Structures are given as structure tokens and as C-alpha cells.
Amino acid sequence: MSLLELKDISKIYGNLHALDHVNLTVDQGEWIAIMGPSGSGKSTMMNIISCMDKPTTGQVIFDGRDITKDSRRKLTEFHRDKIGLVFQQFHLINYLNAVENVMVAQYYHSMPDEKEALEALERVGLKDRAKHLPSQLSGGEQQRVCIARALINSPSLILADEPTGNLDEANENIVLDLFRQLHKEGTSLIVVTHDPEVGEVAQRIVRLEHGKIASDKKNEQFAE
Amino acid sequence: MNKKHRMFIRMVMASLLRRRSRMIVALLAIVVGATILSGLGMIYYDVPRQMSAQFRSYGANVILTPSDGTALKDSAVNQSMAFFPSEQLEGYTPYRYENTKLHNLPVTLAGTDFASVLKTSPYWHIAGTLPNQNGQTLVGKHIAEQFGLRVGDSLEPINSFEVTEDMDVTALLPEEVYTDPATGERYCDHILSLTVAGILETGGSEEDYIYVTLSDLKDFTLTDRGYDIVEVSAAAREDALKGYLTAINQQVSGVSAKVVKRVTASESTVLSKLESLVLIVTIVVLALTMICVATTMMAVITERRREIGLRKALGALDSSIVAEFLSEGLVLGGIGGLIGSILGYLFADVVSMNVFSSAITFRPLLLPITIVVSVVVTGLACLIPIRSAVDVDPALVLKGE
Ligand SMILES: Nc1ncnc2c1ncn2[C@@H]1O[C@H](COP(=O)(O)OP(=O)(O)O)[C@@H](O)[C@H]1O
Ligand SMILES: [Mg+2]
């Protein structure tokens, strides 16, 4: 069974069709890159998948359930169980240290557990930075904290909107390595990027143009 | 306490301690508000007391006089005093007036109790000291000028009378008594030897008297007929005072008790006007402070919209976000209230010292009141911006620049 299905999704702002009759199916464990020029509707699509935004028309089927009709509270609960988010601007809470930032995700999900949070930081190679505040971390380190936070609740899907947009090449590679690991463990990944290097490591590449899917193909170079 | 509660406290404390500069701004606003609230509160409570004391320092507010034209006896005075609650009775002073002669000129001696006289006449301005033993006198300024008296001088008023059989003559010196050879009647020129301890200046009729102790006056006149007037200073409001006086007039025979009307009446009106003035000022300042705290908290929370969006994106329910931010506000409100109520006391004390020249009474009750008000005000002030911040669309605030 597919993990996620977008059925005839449109998002209309005034007379602007940010998404225009989009259909997309994501299988469990798939790693998809969403590419396309700026303004093509990538972020809009991510927000709809992550339940932060509702489509104007169409249905989102997650784990076989139509979540478009769910109440906001239900959506929130659903989202925090299933989805981990990685942002271009990291969005760490600036007065909490690295491990506390990870624990916030546990806190809203179920139970904070410092030991588990430290293990998540260890996975992203930041065990010795656990007590540092975001301002004391480099951009790459902050993004790794953000990834640790996204994976702490073992989501079935990680959504990353331009995760390497603010990173140098070395940090970009660290982040991509982490994605590779997560993929191996069976986590589904949807990564929005306009950087071809980031797109090319995904299993499948979806191109958006003017709110429509322009192409959707398997990546031949994908290395398992 | 489970891990969730611990994390909650950890986040709230981290926000308070690690965002110190922001929090200090908010705390400052709350402290200023709480200081003004508790300071004005204490002044509001203390002003009537302070002002009453001030007003009473312009004289006694009750006088007792004999209702039958004779004199007041000790028993009647004591009986009357029992009608005043002891904590309200600040003091009373008896006066007995006797006419006599000094250097052959008529003068009036006033016998009184120097130990209590300043309680009922605190405005007395004395050059020198108040007499503290028999043989000393306090001389009114007019008398002092008339007879050229200064502190340390002596004076000898003379009481001339015919000595009759029934008189107790033990106080008389043999050389004071002489017999008229023509009629055989005995006369006496009884002398009271006095030393001037102080000169009294009041601007009023008191300056025309020579004040002596009651026992000197008794020895001088050979009688103890009682008092002509008793002045009373009572810390009671007008209505209560009237009640006491009615009871005295009805139940103590021979005593007529009166309010010294002008002082007491104006005391009450001025006091109630002052009270409402302080109350209005307190309310206005409190409202202004609330606005100030509210805008500060609004600014502090508005700049955290992105954080609120993030928490929502991590699955926070609106209620938990409200709880977190509100707790921060409540902790700040509590700390600010505590600091403010202490500063407010100092503030009120400084004001009281400068305006009334007396220390303020610390009202312990104002401490919890200030803390509660400051917690509630801060909570309300936070609630408005939190409510609107919780409505933020996480997709919007988390979007790239
Ligand atoms: N909240 C919004 N209100 C109005 N227009 C929006 C809003 N969000 C996005 N858009 C518009 O929708 C289009 C797609 O935006 P977006 O999904 O952010 O593009 P991308 O992420 O691919 O750069 C853009 O033209 C953008 O201006
Ligand atoms: Mg975008």
C-alpha cells in the first residue's frame, strides 16, 4: 500500500493556481526529490502534505486515510505522529540547547527522554555539542540538530524543504549521508530542492512547473 | 512529577534565564507597576492615619467642661475617659485657672499636668523646657514680656486672703501670716516661689497665662476644687467621637463634653477628599501600568511568533502553547510582584518621611495582594498577545525569508 496519495490537489490563491490538479503517490520507504523553479509550488505542496495547509480542492490520503476532512486538532496529532520536518532555516528554539531542542519534539509527541534525545544527536554526530545553544553551533550543526529533532519520534515520512539551501558543500554532504541512512532504515523522504546535486541522490525526481507536475521519473543514477 | 512536567519547567526556566535581556525588560515593567501599586496602596492606607495625627497636632478635639458651673472632679474625669477606647485615647490634660497678683498686677495662674500637655497641645512652642517638678513654671509670652521674665528668672505671685478658722493652714509659713492690730483679724500673703523653666509661644490666649503644676496651685490656694476644663485628644472619626460624647453627656453627671467642632469637621472632609484623591491616582497609575506591562508583554511575545509556529509544526496543541507562555508570564508576574511590593514599601516610606516626617506602617497584607494583582495583570497582559500568536499559521511564519 502506498504511504501517501495526493489526489487531484489544487491550491488557489486569488486567481493564482499555486498547485494545479496535482496527483502524486508516494510509497513507503521511497526517497523523492521535488524540484522546480522558484514559485512553482514546491513549498505549497510540502505544506499540504505536512498538514500545515489545506488544499482548495482534492484529497490527501495518508496511510489509507483521507485527512483532508480532519479537524485541525486531529491533523496536528496525526502530523506529529507521522511526519518529521527539516527546514531550510533550521528553526531551532534559540534559548534551548541542542538536546533540549530535540526533546521539544518528544515533548509534544509523547514523553521527553534525554537519553534518547542524546542518542539522536549521536546519530547526527553532535553528541559533544548537546549542551550548546543554536547560536554556538555552525549552520551545518544546526541543520543536523534539526534532523535529529525530525527523526526522534521515528516518523514514517521526513519532509525537508530546501534542507541544504543554507549550507556549504561539506555540510551538504553530511546531511545527504544522513538522508541515505534514514532511507536505508526504511523512512520515506521527500526533499524539496532546486540544487541538482541534492536532487540527483534521490530515488525518484518529481519536477513541478507552474503548479503542475512536469515530469516524474525514477532516478537512474540512484545508488542503493 | 513526570518527565513531561519536568521538561515543561525546563523550557519555561530556559526561556526566562537564557533570554535574560528580554525578560529583564518585561520584568522591569512589572516591577515598576508593582512598586507603584504597593507604594500607593500603603500610602492610601496610611494617609488617613498620618493626616489624623497631623490634624490632631493642632490641638485636642474634645473638651470637657463642668455642666453645673462648678468644677470637674477627678472621679468624673476618669469616668468620662473610660468611654474612649484606650487605643484611641491619645491623651487628656486638665486645666485649673486661678486669678492672683504678681507685682500687684492681676495675672492668671493655670494649673496643669505638664506630662500630658503636649499630647493635647502639640503645637506649643516652648523656649526653654517644659516644667518637670513643682516650683517650676511655664510663662506665656505676653506675661514674660510684661514682666521682663526670662528662662531661669524667679517670680513670686502673691495670694492675699483672710485666714479663717476652718482653713487648713499647714501650708502657710508663719512669717506670711499677720494680724490686723485694729480688728484682730488674721491675714495672709501667701507666696508661690517659681522659677521660669520655659516661655510659651502659641499665638493664642495661652500666652497670657502662667502655667504651674496642679499641686503647686493647690498649695497656693489651699484648696483643690477640681478642673475648669479638660482637653482630650482622641484618634476617632467624627461619628464615633459623637457617640462617645453623647454617652458621656448622658451618663456622667456634671460633665459637658463637646467636640472642638472646627478642627474635627474639617479633619474629616479633608481626609475623605485626600483618600479619594489617592484612590483615583492609584487607579489611574494602575491602569497606565497595566497598559505598559501589556504592551511590553505583547512585544515580547510577538517577536516569538516564529517559535510559536515551530512548536505548532512540532505538534503542539494551542492549549499547551498558551500554558507555556502564560507560565512564563506568571513567573515573571510573581517575581515582579515580590520585588515591587518591597520597593513599593521603601517608596511609600520615603514619601511618608518627606511629606509626613514619619515612618509608614508596613501592611503585610499588601505583599500577597501586590503579588496576586501583578500575576493577574501580567497573565491578562500575556493572554491577549498569546491568543493572537497561537492563531498564527505555522506555514506562513516558517516560510523562508
Ligand atoms: N500564502 C500565500 N498567499 C498568496 N500566494 C502565495 C502564498 N503562498 C504561496 N503563494 C504563491 O504561490 C506560488 C507558489 O509558492 P511556493 O509554493 O512557495 O513556491 P516554491 O516553494 O516552489 O518557490 C508562488 O507564486 C507564491 O507567490
Ligand atoms: Mg519554497
Q: Would you tell me how many other CB atoms lie within 10 Å of the CB of residue B160?
A: 11
How distant is the alpha carbon of residue A184 from its chain centre?
A: 16
Q: Residues B244, B347: one domain?
A: no
Atom of ligand 1 nearest to the CA of A14: 4
The CATH number for A187's domain is 3.40.50.300
* Rg of chain B (C-alpha set): 35
pLDDT tens-digit map of B328-358:
889 999 999 999 999 999 998 898 888 777 7
What is the Cα–Cα distance from B341 to B349, expressed in whole angstroms? Answer: 12
Residues of the domain holding A152: 30-43+71-218
Where does a domain end: B227, B259, B291? B259
State residue B401's pLDDT score.
47
Which residues in B lie closer than 8 A to residue A145 (C-beta atoms)?
none
State residue A184's pLDDT score.
94
State residue B400's pLDDT score.
60
Q: Residues B96, B197: one domain?
A: yes
The predicted model gives B240-251 an average pLDDT of 92
B93: CB partners within 8 A, 6+ apart? B60, B112, B113, B116, B117, B119, B120, B121, B230, B231
Region of residue A125 (phi > 0: left; psi between -120 and 50: alpha; otherwise: beta)? left
State residue B51's pLDDT score.
67
Virtual torsion, Cα B382, B383, B388, B391, nearest 10 deg:
120
B170 lies in some domain: no
Q: Which of A70, A107, A145, A147 is the best substitution to test chain B (most B C-beta atoms within 10 A)?
A: A107
The predicted model gives A158-165 an average pLDDT of 93
Q: Residues B148, B281: one domain?
A: no
**A96 to B11: CB separation less than 8 angstroms, yes or no:** yes
The predicted model gives A170-199 an average pLDDT of 93
State residue A192's pLDDT score.
95
What is the Cα–Cα distance from B63 to B72, expressed in whole angstroms? Answer: 12
Q: Residues B215, B362: one domain?
A: no
Q: How far is A71 from chain B (nearest CA, A)?
A: 12
State residue A53's pLDDT score.
87
Task: Burial-class residue A7 by CB neighbours within 10 Å (0-12, 13-18, 19+).
Answer: middle
Phi, then psi, of B361 in degrees rounded to 5: -85, 125
**What's the number of domains chain B is made of?**
2
B164 lies in some domain: no
Q: Residues B78, B206: one domain?
A: yes
A120 lies in some domain: yes
ipTM value > 0.90: yes
Strands (E), B113-182: 125-128, 136-140, 154-155, 158-162, 177-179
Asked which of A2-6, A53-57, B271-275 is least confident by mean pLDDT, the reply is: B271-275
Would you place residue B377 in the very low, low, confident or very high pLDDT band (cuts 50, 70, 90)? confident
Of the candidates B50, B29, B199, the one whose C-alpha atom is nearest the C-alpha of residue B128 is B199
Q: Residues B247, B389: one domain?
A: no
Would you place residue A84 in the very low, low, confident or very high pLDDT band (cuts 50, 70, 90)? very high
What is the chain A residue with the closest CA to B307? A93
Q: Residues B315, B342: one domain?
A: yes
Q: Residues B214, B114: one domain?
A: yes
Percent of chain B with pLDDT over 70: 94
Q: b vs e for A164-194, b when ≥16 Cβ sit within 10 Å of the residue's Cβ?
A: bbbbeeebbebbbebbeebbeeebbbbbbbe
State residue B1's pLDDT score.
66
Asked which of A56-70, A95-109, A201-215 is least confident by mean pLDDT, the reply is: A56-70
**Which among B3, B18, B310 has the least Cβ separation from residue A111?**
B3
C-alpha cell at B243: 457617640
pLDDT tens-digit map of B131-186:
999 999 999 999 999 999 999 999 999 998 888 877 777 777 877 888 888 888 88
Q: How far is B382 from chain A (nearest CA, A)?
A: 19
State residue B12's pLDDT score.
92
Q: How far is B46 from chain A (nearest CA, A)?
A: 45
**What's the number of domains chain A is made of?**
1
Residue type, A101: N
State residue B353's pLDDT score.
84
What is the Cα–Cα distance from A48 to B355, expressed in whole angstroms? Answer: 68
C-alpha cell at A16: 493564482
Would you place residue A79 in the very low, low, confident or very high pLDDT band (cuts 50, 70, 90)? confident
What is the chain A residue with the closest CA to B316? A108
pLDDT tens-digit map of B312-328:
999 898 899 999 988 98
pLDDT tens-digit map of B40-89:
888 877 776 666 666 655 667 899 999 988 899 999 999 999 999 988 88
Q: Residues B145, B102: one domain?
A: yes
Where does a domain end: B233, B259, B285? B259
Longest distance between any two alpha carbons in chain B, whole Å? 130
Mean pLDDT, chain B, integer = 86
B205 lies in some domain: yes
B174 lies in some domain: no
Q: Residues B102, B196: one domain?
A: yes
Task: Burial-class residue B365 by CB neighbours within 10 Å (0-12, 13-18, 19+).
Answer: exposed
B177 lies in some domain: no
Q: Residues B120, B255: one domain?
A: yes
A208 lies in some domain: yes
What is the Cα–Cα distance from B9 to B266, expressed in whole angstroms? Answer: 57
Residues of the domain holding B196: 60-157+192-259
Answer whether B238's CB lies under 8 Å from B268's CB. yes
Q: What is the 3-state secondary structure (H, E, C) of chain A?
A: CEEEEEEEEEEEECCEEEEEEEEEEEECCCEEEEECCCCCCHHHHHHHHCCCCCCCEEEEEECCEECCCCCHHHHHHHHHHHEEEECCCCCCCCCCCHHHHHHHHHHHHCCCCHHHHHHHHHHCCCHHHCCCCHHHCCHHHHHHHHHHHHHCCCCCEEEEECCCCCCCHHHHHHHHHHHHHHHHCCCEEEEECCCHHHHCCCCEEEEEECCEEEEEEECCCCCC
Where does a domain end: B201, B232, B259? B259
Considering only residues B122 and A104, tell me which one the structure prediction assigns the higher pLDDT.
Answer: A104
What is the Cα–Cα distance from B183 to B176, expressed in whole angstroms? Answer: 18
State residue B278's pLDDT score.
78
Would you place residue A96 in the very low, low, confident or very high pLDDT band (cuts 50, 70, 90)? very high
How distant is the alpha carbon of residue A44 from its chain centre?
A: 13
State residue B267's pLDDT score.
61
Q: Residues B235, B128: one domain?
A: yes
Residue A56 CA to ligand 1 center (angstroms) comes to 14
Would you place residue B262 in the very low, low, confident or very high pLDDT band (cuts 50, 70, 90)? very low
B19 lies in some domain: yes
* Residue of A10, A22, A44 to test ligand 1 pocket, by largest number of atoms within 8 Å of CB: A44
